[in-house]
Amino acid sequence: MGVEDENNFKLRPMKCELNYLSKSDGSAILAQGETVVLVSVNGPLDIKSNSQSIEKATLEVLFCGKGGKPSVADRFKENVIKQTCETAILGCLYPRTGISLTIQELEDYGGLLTCTVNCACLALLNSGMAMRHMVAAISCAVNEVGNLVLEPSYEQVQSSRALLHFVFESREKNLVTGFTEGSFSEDTYEEALARCRLASELVFDFYRDIVRKYSNVI
């Protein structure tokens, strides 16, 4: 059953398990629909002096695709996730250290990048890393007739005119990261942004429920 809000926006079902890996400082496995991602966090770690920053922690992101062989698309995902997570982590508290995020794609049935960003946030929360805010990623497709589809399936992605991806922070719901594919009007962009911003609250609520569940266990 999908998650719905008062505006009848429906997101794919989300399931998560924290502490999935025993030998990492934090980990999460997240399923959004049939798309599944595993993320582990290690740090703060001692790193070589030539890689250190005197002002903040150095974040390293490694994305491992299901096929195993790195691709240009994988490097793009790493860059998006790194930039997004750097806005969330209070790196100034961990100068001269390194933080490592390792991401494993398990299944991709659409929405892989948004699932990855959300799983990375959950793994960081699980690690106890100090954060400015949480981040939530939502994707939206423009279908053949110009209608917006939140969190499109793999088939809907393949037949879409355009794809819009947004990442919001949890405090003011400001846009942290945004990137698009295809062509669309300015009005379509603004409507997609507004709908995704509203839907992001469902993801933040999901995070809170998961963290509350695991804190009760502890």
Least confident of 1-10, 50-59, 96-105: 1-10
Q: Give the pLDDT score at 1.
A: 37
Q: Does a structural domain hold residue 183?
A: yes
Confidence of residue 28 (pLDDT cuts 50, 70, 90): very high
Q: Evaluate if pTM is beyond 0.85.
A: yes
Average pLDDT over residues 60-78: 86
Q: Does a structural domain hold residue 2?
A: no
Percent of all residues in the chain with a pLDDT value above 90, rounded to a whole number: 69
Q: Does a structural domain hold residue 116?
A: yes
- Give me the domain span that covers residue 116: 7-217
Please determine, for residue 4, whether its predicted confidence score (pLDDT) is greater than 70: no
Q: What CATH number should be reported for the domain holding residue 133?
A: 3.30.230.70
Average pLDDT over residues 169-173: 96
| Of residues 65, 78, 71, 157, the one with CA closest to residue 111 | 157
Q: Does a structural domain hold residue 137?
A: yes
Q: Does a structural domain hold residue 62?
A: yes
Q: Does a structural domain hold residue 195?
A: yes
Q: Does a structural domain hold residue 206?
A: yes
Average pLDDT over residues 61-71: 84
Q: Residue 198: which residues within 8 A CB-CB, separation 6 or more? A: 5, 7, 9
Average per-residue pLDDT in the chain? 90
Least confident of 28-37, 143-152, 166-175: 143-152
Average pLDDT over residues 180-197: 95
Domain count, the chain: 1
Q: Give the pLDDT score at 215.
A: 78
Q: For residues 87 and 82, give the distance between their C-alpha atoms in angstroms, rounded to a whole number.
A: 9
Burial class (CB in 10 A: 0-12, 13-18, 19+), 158: exposed
Q: Does a structural domain hold residue 1?
A: no
Confidence of residue 89 (pLDDT cuts 50, 70, 90): very high
